[in-house]
Every structure is written in C-alpha cells, then in structure tokens.
Structure 1
Amino acid sequence: MISSIFLGCVEDSTVNTKTTINTDSVNGYDISTANNAFAFDMYSLIKNGDENIFFSPYSIFTTMAICYDGAEGSTKEQLSDACYYPLNKSVLEESSKEMVDTINSNSDYYSLETANALWVRNDYPLNKKFVNNSETYYGGKITNVDFRNEPEESQEIINEWIATKTNGKIRDLISDDMINPEWTDMIITNTLYFKGNWLIEFDVDDTQKEPFYNSSSSEEGTLVDMMYVWKYFSYGENKDAKVVELPYKGRDLSMYIVLPEKNNIEDFENKFTLSDYNELKSTMEPGQDVRIWLPKYTFETKTKLSDPLIEMGVVDAFDVENADFSGIFDSQKMPRGYSLKIDDVVHQTFIEVNETGTEAAAATAEDMAYSKPPGEVFDFKADHPFMFFIEDKRTGCILFMGKIEKPEYGEMS
C-alpha cells in the first residue's frame, strides 16, 4: 500500500480531541488511537456503495504527518483537527518515530515494513529543520529529481522505488498527469508492506465453491472460493455483529473480521464507529470453539483523497491563497509571495487473502501543489459483506482496513 502527497506552487467518542491536540507529553498522546480514529473518519468518506474497500489509515496518517511537520497557522490547525495530531509537533515526531521503529523491528515470522521518501525538485531550498525532522523521526529519504526537465524520468524513479518497497504489488502510483513540470516541487511518499502466514492455516482441501450474498445479490448468491477451518479462536458478538480474530504467526499482528448480522452492510457501516469496534472487541474471549467460513479474495484499489480530506476539514492546505507550509522551505531563498500547497493525495493498495495467509501493500503519495456458555461451538460464516482490520497488536494500530462486498480471487496483473 502506498500513499503520496504532491506539493506545488468526524469526530469519535473514543478520542478526547481537546486532550489529544493540546497534550505536550509523548506519554499523554496515544498515536494508535489517533490513527484509528482517523481510520474510521476516512472510511466513512471513501466507502462507495457495494464496492470493496481497502486502504491503509497508517500510510495516509503518516504521509500527512510529514507534511504537517512543515505546516503553520490555520493549515496546521486544520490538519491537527482532522488527523488528531498534537499541536506540539515534537510529540507527534517522537510518537511517529517509535511507531516506525516498532513496525520495522523485523521478525522471523512475517514481513512488515514501512518506508518514507521525499522527492524534491533540483535546487529546491528545503528548511534544514524540516529535513532533519523528516530523516530523524520518519526515516524519510530525501532525493532530488528533475521535475522541470525530466518529468518522465522522475516519475519512473519514484514508481520504481514504490514497486521495490511493496514487493512489486504497487506499480504506477505516479501517473503521467501527476507531475507538472512547471508547478511540482515535491512529492512525499509512504509505503507499507505486509506478508504473513496464519497461525492456524486453512486446509486447501476444505476450500470449495459456496454462495456469497452481497448487498444486492439474488437469493442464490454468487459462488466464491470459500475457505473453512474449525479450531479455537478469540471470538465475540453482540446483537449487531460477530467478530473473530485470525492471528498471524508470531502473534504480533492479527486480522479481525467483523460480520454484521444482516446481508446489507450499509446501515451497519454508516453507524459503526471506533467506539463500537472497540466495544465489540471487548466481548471477545480466547479459546472459543469456532467454525469459520471465509472467502478467498484479492483486489487492488487506487483512490484520490483530496476531496475526503477537504471534507474532513483540511481546506487551507489545498488552497494556494491560504496554504502555509512555510516550515518546509527556506523562505529567505524563495521569491516573495511564494506559496506551497497540496495539489493531490493519491492512495493505492493491494491485498490477497488465501488459505496460507495475507499479503497486503499500500502506498500514499502526497503531491504539494462481546460471551456464551463453555462447550458451545460458534459458527462464523462470512457469506455476506463484512469489514476487516489488520492490526499491529504491539501498538493497537490499525494498519489496514477494508470491506468485502464482492470476494473475487485470481491472479493479479
């Protein structure tokens, strides 16, 4: 998964916004809760009827955080409100570094890596403090590229870096029309790649064609490749939905599947908040005897996030007259009246879920211009639309989030 920002010339009861924004202590700021609140806010704005959804809130949250590090004035305040960033930037910087270090701490059981990079036009005078913060707290590698004279080569360089960091799963994030030789000064990119095997795998021999009833399907449903396993899992439920945890080997990460009671997921997802998600998870008890049916699926997405971010309140950052990213560049070396704004934010993802485990990737580019009696067997049959979350259990951070309406499985290009 990848996120990018291009630069050129819903609040949730789980989060105490005032406390979060105004904290001056790293211990007083829960970056995972902020990220997760942002995840649900973003989901509410990008859900698209009966289409599959998949995105990495962490990738977007982090890309925007790098940009936030150079924001001032109302631009900074709006980003803080929308993304739950503390107004004290040093708190976000230290918290982000700890998160990056945890994600990139390596494991013999799975692959998980995030990377940040800043692609800056030749001779662009960056603010030294911004450079230091990007490198120190985000591991942001800064590379000069010739946007002005060689936009195609610049595009190729950035896309190749993204493809390498995502094991070839994210390609061509930067499209032909995203680099404007006259206006593009910087592109900020984040990648997040994960590949892990289930702690309890599904037996391939148990996979068979079974009907899946999406929100608009007929009574017969659509035949899909349905995996099956009967083991002990952490499981919970309430009157609205069931939840089961599928841990990956190493136990640092898990997929949580939230299955609404009704086939039509729209009413559920419109009301399902981070508080509801946490409350549903609180009903879970380990070691429950569960039979699970889960479809195999693989798909890709590519989403423009400028409009959702503006709807979340990030307005000035996209306005050439009001954007204030003066902390990014050396103002003494720029002509009078120079202004830097976000031109576009693009997010691309890939996910594959099968009997063995999960492979997921994301990239963002920001261009500036609940329990029952023991002994009972629980059935968790995901034969209708469901939401899913891949969490880093060490931090509680939602790395990936999505919805399955149409489970399809096959070779991706």
Structure 2
Amino acid sequence: MSTTEAITTANNLFTVDLARQMNGDQNVVVSPLSIFIALALICLKAQDTAEAQMKQVLHFKNCRDIHYGIQRLMSELQRTNDYKLDIENTLFVEETSEISKDYMNNYNVWYNSKPEKVDFRNAPKAAWEHINRWLKEKSEGTFQNVPETLILNNTKIVVVNTAYLLANWTQSFPKHKTHHVKFTMSTNKKVPVQLMSAVGRFNLQTITDEKLKILELPYGKTNDLCMYIILPDHSNDLHKVVQSMSYEKLTNWTDQQYMKRKYTKVFLPHFEIDSAYSMKGILSNLGMPDIFSDTKAKFTGISEDNLFVSDVISLATVNADEDGTKDVTNIDDHLGFLSLMLPEVIFTADRPFIYVIQHKPTKCYVFYGTFQKP
C-alpha cells in the first residue's frame, strides 16, 4: 500500500466513525477529510496520551510519512480544473504562547501555512471577530460565523477547518422539470420539497440484504468526483443504516465493480445544507479526550506553555441544485435520442438518504452527509 493509499484508507475509516457518531434526526454535512487534516496539524507535535489517542482515532497505525501522504493526497484532489475543492485549516493560538520554530517550519513545509496568534486572554470578542474575518476571506463569504460562545478568555488553541466545493453535474437537471412533491420524513410526516429530475445513463447498485439503492451522480467532464446517493427502501430506516454502517460496507456500496450502468430517470431534492459544528464532544467520544484537557494535553512540541485544544470547529456546505453544488456555468450532456426510450429504472429520493462525495481516482471520501428534512 502506497503512502497516499494508506492516508486515504485512514480518512475513509475516520469517515465511517464520524458518520455513526453524528447519527441523529437532523440534516448533516461534514468534510471528514478537512477535519482529518486539521487534526493532523495538531498531531504533528502531540505527545504522550494525546498523541496515542489521536493516532488511534485517525487510524494512523498503518501510515508512514503521514504529512507527506496528506500533501500528496491533496495534490491529487486539486490536480484538475474540472471542479474547485477548497479546504482550509488553521490553528488560532493565544498570542502570549511562544510557538517553537521547529513546529512553525514543519507546519509551513507540509501545509503551506502557519498558526495565527490572537488575544484570547484579554480580548476574546476581538479574537472571535478576527476568526470570522478569516472565515469570510478564505471562503469568499460562503460560511456563517463561528458561534461567539466558543471563544473564551481561557481559550488556548482553536482549530478551524472549512470545506466547500464548486462543481457541476456531468448531466444537469433541467430547471423546467423541477416541481413540488411530498417528502416523507423518518416520522412518516409528509412535507413539501422541490424535486429535480433528469434522464440519462447512470451507475446504480441495489443492496438487497440492506434494503438500499445506490445512485452515482458524477461531476464535470472527467467524472473524477461524484456524489453517491444511498437511499433506504423505507423512510424510517436511515438511522439503522447509519448505525450499522462499516468501512467495508461503505467501500462496497461505492465500488465501481458492483455498479451497473442503466438508463434511469432520477428524482432528487433541491437542497442546500450549511453546518458549523463544535467537534469537541464528538472527537472526545471517538476516543481523543486528552487533547481538550488542560491537565492531560501535552503539546510541548508546539510550545513550552501549557497548551490544550479548546475546540475543533468544522464548517462545510453542500448545495445540490439543478447545476450542481454551486450555480456556476453548466455542463450539459443531454443525449437527445434517449428521450424517446422508456427508462429501465426510476430512482426517486423522496425520503431520507445518505450522500457521500468521493474522489474516484483515489477513492477518498471528501464530504459525508444525510438529508432528512427539507
């Protein structure tokens, strides 16, 4: 296994762990890869139990040259002009802490960036405003503000990570075919939703034992990036599917060798989900509580001061409209002669489903989410 493959496997294992941990009744969008990289920034110089816990949760056991591997993976993901994937990660550190030159050099070499110092101790509100200005600049105004309650005068380190995607469907959904229908939530309550539709040849898979249908929706001309819609047969099955999901299952569900290309009529909700998560509780539950403890965290490789991570704040957005994740120049791939044929399959996402955005050449999961209510 190459370094990049090992890092991808670690990220994908982490994706499944996050999915199970975030299994609830709300819409979810998260970039496991963005969080994975942000935590690697801290793990770079973590020590003792903090380091051991992080490596366990991030599945680094079989990874050599971790930071080189992440650098190579990001290079693969951003090689094309077919889409724009923007992942940003920064450590905001209390300005009175002296950061070691060795850490600064490693941070810059592997992640082409540096930590930012802010005055958490004396001016937490100004520090909060600074972080939000950084967010606005890096995301071109895409993301909402970090909750002010997360920034206190005893804050030492806040890790902020963001991820957003600019991409178009390979085959778009004609806007004139979008119409209102009823969406059945897990409670069996029916609510209105805008349902887009398209007809074409799509990769599909049916998992009979799990009572699932899986649809691949590719992006761009190269199809290097795609969204998998994982649709349970029944509206109230999503929670159970996520809870029983494993790395092996998700790998098989998104494996090209099990897909069959069929002429399909697709119905998909028009949705946009923005998120801003405090990951402290989630990551502690996954097995890395010590990085958040002022008595157990050990980051002397970063600074001789008594540093601990106050929170890891994760922001992500996914927008599925007629064109793709963002309303930018459309790429049409309509096959006119197919309109005269009857579809072999009708795929209707009118109930809760899982979606995963994957980079197909590396098989890396970039985004994960659930759509449960319009």
TM-score, structure 2 as length reference: 0.88
Q: Could you tell me which of 111, 116, 139 is aligned with 1:143?
A: 116
Structure-2 separation of matches of 1:87 and 1:252: 26
Structure-1 separation of matches of 2:315 and 2:98: 29
SS in 1 for 2:65: helix
Structure-2 separation of matches of 1:389 and 1:32: 15
* Aligned residue runs from structure 1 range 327-346, under 5 A: 327-329=301-303, 331=304, 334=305, 339-346=306-313
How far the C-alpha of 1:326 sits from its partner, in A, is: 1.5
1:386 maps to 2:322: no
Deviation by residue 1:206-232 (Cα, 9 ceiling, x = unmatched): 1111121111124xx222111111100
Q: Could you tell me which of 12, 27, 33 is aligned with 2:3?
A: 27
In the other structure, the counterpart of 1:53 is 28
Q: Could you tell me which of 62, 66, 82 is aligned with 1:92?
A: 66
Relative distance call for 1:195 and 1:208 in structure 2 (3 A) is same
Q: Could you tell me which of 76, 88, 94 is aligned with 1:102?
A: 76
Do 2:160 and 2:313's aligned partners in 1 also have CA atoms closer than 8 Å?
A: no
Do 2:157 and 2:311's aligned partners in 1 also have CA atoms closer than 8 Å?
A: no
Do 1:26 and 1:94's aligned partners in 2 also have CA atoms closer than 8 Å?
A: no
Do 2:161 and 2:315's aligned partners in 1 also have CA atoms closer than 8 Å?
A: no
1:177 maps to 2:149: yes
In the other structure, the counterpart of 1:229 is 198
How far the C-alpha of 1:389 sits from its partner, in A, is: 0.6
Do 2:156 and 2:308's aligned partners in 1 also have CA atoms closer than 8 Å?
A: no
In the other structure, the counterpart of 2:338 is none
- Range that drifts further, 249-258 or 186-195: 186-195
Q: Could you tell me which of 307, 316, 324 is aligned with 1:349?
A: 316
Structure-2 separation of matches of 1:245 and 1:29: 22
Using the aligned pairs only, state the percent identity: 27
Do 2:43 and 2:54's aligned partners in 1 also have CA atoms closer than 8 Å?
A: yes
Q: Could you tell me which of 253, 257, 280 is aligned with 1:306?
A: 280
1:209 maps to 2:183: no
Structure-1 separation of matches of 2:183 and 2:42: 42
* Aligned residue runs from structure 1 range 355-394, under 5 A: 355-359=322-326, 377-394=344-361
How far the C-alpha of 1:268 sits from its partner, in A, is: 1.7
1:113 maps to 2:54: no
Deviation by residue 1:171-230 (Cα, 9 ceiling, x = unmatched): 211x3333333x333333322221111010001111111121111124xx2221111111
Relative distance call for 1:177 and 1:217 in structure 2 (3 A) is same
Structure-2 separation of matches of 1:319 and 1:142: 20
Structure-2 separation of matches of 1:54 and 1:28: 25
Deviation by residue 1:119-164 (Cα, 9 ceiling, x = unmatched): 3333521122211121111222333333334333322222112122
How far the C-alpha of 1:99 sits from its partner, in A, is: 2.1
Q: Could you tell me which of 239, 260, 263 is aligned with 2:235?
A: 263
Q: Could you tell me which of 94, 104, 107 is aligned with 1:134?
A: 107
Deviation by residue 1:374-409 (Cα, 9 ceiling, x = unmatched): x971221111111001112232111110111112xx
Structure-1 separation of matches of 2:310 and 2:92: 15
In the other structure, the counterpart of 2:363 is 396
Q: Which runs of 5+ in 2 are unaligned?
A: 328-341
TM-score, structure 1 as length reference: 0.80
Do 1:71 and 1:326's aligned partners in 2 also have CA atoms closer than 8 Å?
A: yes
Do 2:162 and 2:316's aligned partners in 1 also have CA atoms closer than 8 Å?
A: no
SS in 2 for 1:216: coil
Structure-2 separation of matches of 1:139 and 1:242: 41
1:68 maps to 2:40: no
